[in-house]
Amino acid sequence: MPIVTKDMDSAFQTAGANPGLEIWCIENQRLVSVSKSSHGKFYTGSAYLVLNAVFPKIGPPHYDIHYWLGSEAKKVDSSLASEKALELDAALGSCSVQYREIQGQESQKFLSYFRPCLIPIEGVFTSKQGSLNGEYQVHLYTCKGDYVVHVKEVPFLRTTLNHEDVFILDTALKIFLFSGCNSTIQERAKALEVVQYIKENKHGGKCEVATIEDGKFVGDSDVGEFWSLFGGYAPIPRESPPIQESEAPPIKLFWINLQGKLCETGTNALSKEMLETDKCYMLDCDSEIFVWMGRQTLLTERRTAIRAIEDFVRNEGRSIKTHLTFLSEGLESTIFRSYFTNWPRTVELRLYEEGKEKVAAILKHQGYEVKELPEEDNEPSIDCSGTIKVWRVDGDELSLLSVTELTKLYSGDCYIVQYTFPGNGRDETLFYAWVGSKSVMEDKTAVVSHISTMADSIRTNPVMAQIHEGKEPAQFFSILHRLIIFKGGNSSGYRNFIEEKSMVDETYNENLVALFRVQGTSPDNMQAIQVDQVSASLNSSYCYILQNEGSIYTWIGSLSSARDHNLLDRLVELLNTKWLPVSVREGNEPDVFWDALGGKAEYPKGKEIQGFTDDPHLFALKIIKGKACLIDGSVSHADFLEFQPRRRLQGILLLQSETVHVKEIYNYTQDDLITEDVLLLDCQREIYVWVGLHSAVKSKQEALNLGQKFLEMDVLAEGLSLDIPIYIVTEGYEPPFFTCFFSWNHSKENIVGNSFERKLAILKGKAKSVEGHARTPLKATSRDSTPNGHRSFSAFSNGRGRSSSPLPSSAGDRLVSSSTPLTKKLFESSPANDSAEKPMPQLESPATELSSSNESASFTQKDRNVDGENLPIHPYERLRVVSANPVTSIDLTRREIYLSNEEFREKFGMPKSAFSKLPRWKQNKLKMSLDLF
């Protein structure tokens, strides 16, 4: 609860009690609360204070304080805003992060509170606003940003326009969107959201909207009207290339003394030990400055530090783009910590327990009787009664496990689990690559290769996940119901490894000593995990099964629950129905029990506490070809590799010949899943790589590599394991356990076109869905494909050369794992490639065919007909993705084959035969440029 002090401003007495935004403005040197109806209306002559309170499901509340300074705000108001931000932090128990926001240079996090945009208003805030009448003023704005938009009013002059940016011209009767020829599709799409905002808020939804493309002005009345407002058309001059900025200066740490003097204490090689809890420090990172305030510093010291920093920025002539962030000890951000070597990477349980106590106190204050906070809800979000198939990986070979063996895994092996379940109007498929903790590199590499090929071959674009033993998601256990994990392995790679290393084979043997830890939540979700047969493996929070020659013991930990005891009996029977166990409670073990474990030894006896999980974070991964460029105008790739291996400030990943720019998206929504991008949702215990259909990533293997590289570079919150599950999700095929992180609207899933075309169609009420036809799945690399674009599979390891790909089906058509349904061969083997291909398993379709045999035959004929012979001919305008009169009953993934030879040559600049010889990615790129993909 907020801390009320004697001298605290009365405006803060209830601050932070509820989640969401609270805004105050400084009027006549006092704070005035801003009503919710006025949120987002910031006046250029005023200074504001913004508090964002977030109450996560588990853990203490999060507070972010921003003080926003208008470009025309008085210096006295600006100074008062910074002091009030510090006072508000004190009222919240000094547990917030503070930011200084300058008009026009606001942080991404701040702008995300005011979606779709924040448009500053000229003038000064007054709590007694009157109505404004008179002639409608014409405004010209620039819009920059892919996820949150910086909107800036610029002079209404023709010379203001350029080829790089997107502009909005707001007039009394019509809103014009002008897109520079070098602007991105995403920028244009976000600008359309601003257009919608202006239309609804300034025109009452009653005005026309026109889109103007840079360089296209012939025969369009909207274009003529747009240029007439500027006095007529004139070419926009080409700008000279930007001057490359010099290398950023070294990072410096300063101690701020009681007189406000900055004393340098170190550069670059910084450690946490340099930060003393009774002092304030400034970390100068050039484009961003952090102020760190120790927990034992006084409010007066913090005020002195803030004044000193603001004077420093002003006197040093720093750019207005310089961001100031104020951090209290214990609340350091990931970016701040990255500048220090060996910063502790684990969350102190003490802090977590303090957070739990605060949350419990709040609940009690609200009248709830709280004994203990509820455990986190791990209920699966999908139907867990579907069909399971499991293959064991042995290098290039895959072996399908029998029904009785598919829930018995070995730590020295890798497995592929295929799970089919009823989804949103169709059966869905989920692939898991399970990597044993003792498996060899050969099998680890092979399992990823196999599962990527299997997932890419299925037209319904299944979700693919890589999981590691010991880090399995709760959903995996719910799907398998009952799981036993044995030590050792059966693959030839594992056996060769232990033989070469002269290691003892630990593979489970029912005649030898074995110890199993029991875990789970119910009889439909329980596991027995074999651990080292030593006393140190015990834990008072669990129950165990000890197998010793002819004797079986069940050990009950003193902190285990009645639910654990119930699972213990069931798992004993699952391991061996003939066992008659001897029950032993902790503290009453016979000597023979300890003898079997090699003697009594110390083991954990405290309650096992799982640290709280922060709310998910969404990151955009922008893929840039090549390495010779600057990111954010400061750090070059060479510098990054050589000097800054752990730096997350610039958010750079290097992938061979590509660079990935990482940007966090704050307060994300479904609309942030942009079809041209790849996004990564960090849930700490698992991550999701979401791949847009128009992104540069064209295979699940490539997407998985991105996720793995993301973890390796430690971009996510520190302390994250490299073995957490990685899910690959394709646009249009999002499973429920992904969409649950969003306020999901299924009607937005399948709108035709790129992000700009989709937003424009929605804005004009002409959105068209592609429901009813298969969307283009992620394709594997070209070496895995036959000349006609179909994947080629060689014979399976059991000698049966079968392969298939499931089609969508009704929820009722589901398999039983012991059945052998009829399968449809969608891909024919290519003899020329058989020797180069790895053996693939039989992928049996979980669905009945939706189309008739005649339709299937017709479809096959179309696929084989490269030149489009014997096909109906349609004009280009009717074949486009966005067409006023679209053609129906065609293969929507190959619109180009219905063009006449003459029109095809005119549009593509080549005959159909030459086009068919191009790589698939190049074909798709050409089709996208012509709106045929």
Where do the H-state alpha helices sit in 156-212?
Answer: 185-202
Q: Above 70 in pLDDT, residue 769?
A: no
- Per residue in 686-720, pLDDT (tens digit) is 999 999 999 988 889 999 988 988 887 755 545 56
- Which domains does the chain possess? 20-113 (3.40.20.10), 139-230 (3.40.20.10), 252-339 (3.40.20.10), 393-596 (3.40.20.10), 617-626+651-764 (3.40.20.10), 876-929 (1.10.950.10)
The predicted model gives 613-637 an average pLDDT of: 58
Q: Is 866 helix (H, G, I), strand (E, B) or coil?
A: coil
Is 444 buried (19+), middle (13-18) or exposed (0-12) by CB count in 10 A? middle
Q: Above 90 in pLDDT, residue 918?
A: no
Separation of alpha carbons 523 and 382, rounded Å: 18
Q: Above 70 in pLDDT, residue 504?
A: yes
Q: Using 50, 70 and 90 to split pLDDT, how confident is the model at 834?
A: very low
- Per residue in 534-576, pLDDT (tens digit) is 999 999 999 999 998 878 999 999 999 999 999 998 999 888 8
Q: Using 50, 70 and 90 to split pLDDT, how confident is the model at 888?
A: confident
Separation of alpha carbons 726 and 468, rounded Å: 10
Is 28 buried (19+), middle (13-18) or exposed (0-12) by CB count in 10 A? exposed
- Per residue in 275-312, pLDDT (tens digit) is 999 999 999 988 889 999 999 999 899 999 999 998 89
Q: Above 60 in pLDDT, residue 383?
A: yes
Q: Above 60 in pLDDT, residue 836?
A: no
Contact 279, 256 (CB under 8 A): yes
Q: Above 50 in pLDDT, residue 160?
A: yes
Residue 606: how many CB atoms within 10 A of its CB?
9
Looking at per-residue confidence, does 356 or 745 come out higher? Answer: 745
State which of 333-342, 397-406, 423-432 shows the largest mean pLDDT: 397-406
Separation of alpha carbons 436 and 446, rounded Å: 13
176: nearest Cα among 149, 154, 163, 194: 194
Separation of alpha carbons 370 and 361, rounded Å: 8
Q: Which of 47-51, 624-628, 631-635 has the lowest mean pLDDT?
A: 631-635
| H or E element in which residue 638 lies | helix 637-643
Q: Which residues contact 919 (CB under 8 A, 6 or more apart)?
A: 782
Q: Above 60 in pLDDT, residue 631?
A: no
Instruction: Name the E strands within 494-616.
Output: 514-522, 525-531, 543-548, 551-556, 582-585
Q: Using 50, 70 and 90 to split pLDDT, how confident is the model at 248?
A: low
Query: What is the per-residue pLDDT for 242?
Result: 56
Structure tokens, 37: 């109806």
- Per residue in 308-348, pLDDT (tens digit) is 998 898 888 888 778 899 999 988 887 888 788 777 654 44
Q: Which residues contact 860 (CB under 8 A, 6 or more apart)?
A: none
Q: Which residues contact 653 (CB under 8 A, 6 or more apart)?
A: 621, 659, 660, 662, 706, 709, 710, 713, 715
Q: Which of 14-28, 56-70, 819-833 has the lowest mean pLDDT?
A: 819-833
Q: In what order do the strands lie in the sheet with 149-154?
A: 117-118, 149-154, 139-144, 166-170, 174-179, 208-213
Is 74 buried (19+), middle (13-18) or exposed (0-12) by CB count in 10 A? middle
Query: What is the per-residue pLDDT for 449?
Result: 93
Contact 268, 639 (CB under 8 A): no
- Residue 488 gets the label, from left (phi > 0), alpha (psi -120 to 50) or beta, of left
Query: What is the per-residue pLDDT for 657?
Result: 56
Contact 303, 259 (CB under 8 A): no
| H or E element in which residue 681 lies | strand 678-682
The overall average pLDDT reported for the chain is 79
Query: What is the per-residue pLDDT for 134?
Result: 62
Q: Using 50, 70 and 90 to split pLDDT, how confident is the model at 844?
A: very low
Q: Using 50, 70 and 90 to split pLDDT, how confident is the model at 378?
A: low
Q: How far is CA 475 from CA 292, 435, 465, 737, in A?
A: 40, 16, 12, 9
What is the bridge-based pairing of β-strands 726-730 and 687-691?
parallel
Structure tokens, 423: 């989804």
Q: Which of 149-163, 625-639, 867-881 has the lowest mean pLDDT?
A: 625-639
Separation of alpha carbons 224 and 221, rounded Å: 5
State which of 271-275, 390-394, 550-554 shows the largest mean pLDDT: 390-394
pTM: 0.75
Length of the chain: 933
Query: What is the per-residue pLDDT for 807?
Result: 29
Where do the H-state alpha helices sit in 203-348?
Answer: 221-228, 299-315, 334-337
Query: What is the per-residue pLDDT for 349?
Result: 42
Residue with tokens 């420090």: 281
- Per residue in 22-43, pLDDT (tens digit) is 999 999 888 999 988 888 889 9
Query: What is the per-residue pLDDT for 589?
Result: 94
Q: Above 60 in pLDDT, residue 375?
A: no
Separation of alpha carbons 648 and 635, rounded Å: 11
Instruction: Name the E strands within 165-322.
Output: 166-170, 174-179, 208-213, 252-256, 262-267, 270-271, 280-284, 288-293
Looking at per-residue confidence, does 796 or 59 come out higher? Answer: 59
The predicted model gives 117-140 an average pLDDT of: 79
The predicted model gives 654-668 an average pLDDT of: 76
DSSP code, position 791:
B
Structure tokens, 44: 């250029």
Query: What is the per-residue pLDDT for 336?
Result: 87
